[in-house]
A and B are shown apart, each in its own frame.
Chain A
Amino acid sequence: MTMTELVLEGIGAAAGIAVGPAFCLEAPKLQPTGEILAAAAIAGVSEEFLTVWGQTVRELEELCRRTASRGGAEQADILTAQISMLQDPMWRESVIAKITAGKNTAWAVQATTEELARSFESMSDPYIRERAADIRDVGERLLRAVMKVPVASFGDLREPSIVVAANLSAADMAQLDFANVLGLVLETGSKTSHTAIIARGQGIAAIVGVNGISGKVGTGDEIAMDGSTGRLWVHPSETVLYALRSKSEQESLRQRQCAAETALPSQTADGHAVILAANVGGPADIAAALEQGAAEVGLFRTEFMFLDRRELPDVEEQFDAYRAVVEAMAGKPVIVRTLDVGGDKMLPGITQNKEENPFLGVRGIRLCLANPEVFRTQLTAILRASVYGRLKIMFPMVTAIDEIVEAKAILQEIEAALRAQKIAFDPEIPVGIMVEVPAAALQIRAFAPYVDFFSIGTNDLLQYTLAVDRGNPCLSALYDPCHPAFLSLVAQIIRDAHAAGRPVGMCGELAGDPRFTLFLLGVGLDEFSMSPTAIPGINYFLRRATLKDAQAHAVQVLGMERSEEIHAYLQQSEQTGT
């Protein structure tokens, strides 16, 4: 029998194509009655509620521990916050007050959940409004425990299926055996809900906000879904299946090709070679970087050792970390960025607490020069590690030649001190700067004699060029790398640096975004440094491009006057490869 195909639309929350049987999670309706307690029963009922509450807290804690030990850090964080919510005295006080007034426990829990959730829903901040979902998650769990209704069970999920549910709490997600989950389809939720974030982390297709899905599909019905478009089909036709299969095959073919080509040289079809490098945060990231084909470390963020602790790392500790990274890279260059805090990264006792505009304040090299002891400690550790491979030093947030001169003077003092102590270091260690402020971008020719290389930090350069706070969600539409002023500034930096004989790298997000690869190739970028997972995709792309086309492409882009025009052109070029 042929079933009628039904097409439904939701919000694509995690990309991916999945076809398989539905597994509908039956959520029994929790309907507390209006039963009124006899006065004599109240004390006992209150007591009983506190016991159930305690058990629920312990269950969640246990689930959180198991999740964390399985490596689900993100999920564990969500559960930790939910446990704190459940432990909030407001829950207990409000429920007990209602029981004391004669309401039955289930009713009291549901009413309390509603009150708390509504108080969040009335807030203007969208982030806070979303916490109402956490309150409801926690409240439902407590209500199930009170009504002795078992929590959602995936016990019958024994074959790979597409899980369909009204909603899945963070706790439900933690119990899901992802090996048997082809995709997730939810009636509620948004792109930023926990479920969506976890699905993306697990690499599972997900569609959320599909109105009325529960009534339209039963366990065992065949479903096809495309997580990138948010469309799904119940009883899909052969035509749909064929189209989805070929889309899915193309994607996996491309992924396999990317993976197969990681060892091949990163050069265009007409032989123009560039360096593909990795951004890393510490020794633990090196294995992944090498595996993905990184030829260098283009940005080693050293902040990881400094943040989230009360005392600063000493020379020995820093030396160990730098040495571990440079040794693991086995002779491949590593660009160490000196401490880059201030702005949104705070260090107790060092960063200023009361700045009106932290992003325009004491950060990057300014902060190091203002705290010479911290700077000296780090430079000493870097120099000592420099004999174990090819280290390069990079100063962040430079705006004036004097800053480079002062930083290099400190470096020379340390070199002299090391020489005096007969401690070995690389005397030729290259020194470069990040170009992330328009003042530096416009002075490249003047800076060039003082440095060995430049590296463009696109995230900050963009926010300073456009005067847009990159963390302000109200301005996210204005934080646009396709702004013609920004792209022409990037082109100018590279042109001026090359005129002075200095290579230019890029270690911001743009370097790993395939939409910009052709443009960056065209304007002559020498080194692309990105998160390791982005390297194979960029390599695949550039091996199919030619320098000639890239240059023509860049000329086109630089001639455009509006962001939308550039957006459309980049998108079209990424798809056609020209």
Chain B
Amino acid sequence: MIEKSVQINNRTGLHARPASKFVQEASRFRCEITLSKDGRTVNAKSMISVLSLGANCGATLLIRTSGVDEISAMDGLVALLETLPGEEQ
């Protein structure tokens, strides 16, 4: 199992389209993936659960991956969160 904490830095947070992208990326991997925020842990492959975290801009999320492809899953998800588009000035 590996874990890593990531800060959400795009302006709109992990909502709607960014969340959808994130869940799609998570679903590509076989390992178990969870997201935790403020002590709540949810399945990262579930759109509804991910949305329910309410990860706004600035929120810190803990990603845990556990299973055969845990390393590539972590790399993929962290890269995706770091490149979420921001909004124009």
- Interface on A for B, CB 8 Å cutoff? 77-78, 80-81, 83-85, 87-91, 116, 119-120, 123, 125, 127-128, 131, 135, 281, 301, 307-310, 340, 344-346, 348, 351, 353-354, 358, 457, 459, 471, 508
Contact A346 B20 (CB under 8 A): no
- 8 A-B interface contacts by CB (under 8 A): A125-B56, A127-B13, A309-B83, A310-B79, A344-B9, A344-B10, A348-B82, A459-B89
List the A residue with the shortest CB-CB distance to B78.
A348
**Chain A contacts of B88 at CB under 8 A?**
281, 301
B46 touches A88 (CB 8 A): yes
Instruction: Please tell me if B49 contacts chain A, counting CB pairs below 8 Å.
Output: yes
Residues of B within 8 A of A127 (CB): 13, 15, 54, 56
Question: B45 to chain A: which residues have CB within 8 Å?
Answer: 89
Least Cβ–Cβ distance between B17 and chain A, in angstroms: 5
Give Cα A120–Cα B19 distance, bound, in whole angstroms. 16
Q: Chain A residues with Cβ under 8 A from B66's Cβ?
A: none
Instruction: Return the CB mask of B26-53 against A: 1 if under 8 Å, else 0.
Output: 0000000000000000010111110110
Q: What residues on A are CB-neighbors of B57 within 8 Å?
A: 344, 471
**A81:B16 contact, CB within 8 angstroms:** yes
CB contacts (< 8 Å) of B7 on chain A: these are 353-354
Interface positions of B (Cβ within 8 A of A): 6-7, 9-11, 13, 15-17, 19-20, 23-24, 43, 45-49, 51-52, 54, 56-58, 79, 82-89
Q: Could you tell me if B54 and A123 are in contact, using CB atoms closer than 8 angstroms?
A: yes
Chain B min CB distance to A544 (Å): 29
User: Do A308 and B48 touch across chains, with their CB atoms under 8 A apart?
Assistant: no
A89 touches B10 (CB 8 A): no
Q: Closest residue to B45 on the A side, CB-wise?
A: A89
Given A344-B11, A344-B57, A346-B10, CB of A84 within 8 Å of CB of B52: no
Known: A346-B84, A353-B82; 10 extra A-B contacts, CB below 8 A, are A88-B46, A89-B45, A90-B49, A125-B56, A348-B79, A353-B7, A353-B9, A358-B58, A457-B89, A471-B57
Q: When A307-B86, A344-B11 are in contact, do A80 and B49 touch as well, CB less than 8 Å? A: no
- The docked-state distance in angstroms from the alpha carbon of A281 to that of B6 is 29
Cβ–Cβ < 8 Å partners of A358 in chain B: 9, 58
Give the complex CA separation of A90 and B49 in angstroms.
Answer: 9
List residues of chain B with CB within 8 A of the CB of A80: 16-17, 20
**A residues less than 8 Å from B10 (CB atoms):** 344, 346
Task: Report if A77-B86 is in contact (Cβ < 8 Å); known contacts: A123-B52, A125-B54, A346-B9.
Answer: no
Contact partner of B48 (CB less than 8 A), chosen from A78, A85, A340, is A85
Q: How far is the CB of B64 from chain A (nearest CB, A)?
A: 18
For residue B7, which residue of chain A has the nearest CB? A353
Shortest distance between the CB of B23 and any CB in chain A (Å): 5
Partner among B17, B43, B52 whose Cβ is within 8 Å of the Cβ of A128: B52
Which chain A residues border B23 with CB–CB below 8 Å?
84, 88
Sorted from nearest, which 10 A-B pairs have the closest CB atoms?
A84-B47, A84-B20, A345-B86, A348-B82, A81-B16, A346-B9, A125-B54, A308-B85, A128-B54, A88-B47
Residues of A contacting B13 with CB < 8 Å? Answer: 127
Interface centre among B45, B54, B84 (most CB of A within 10 A): B54
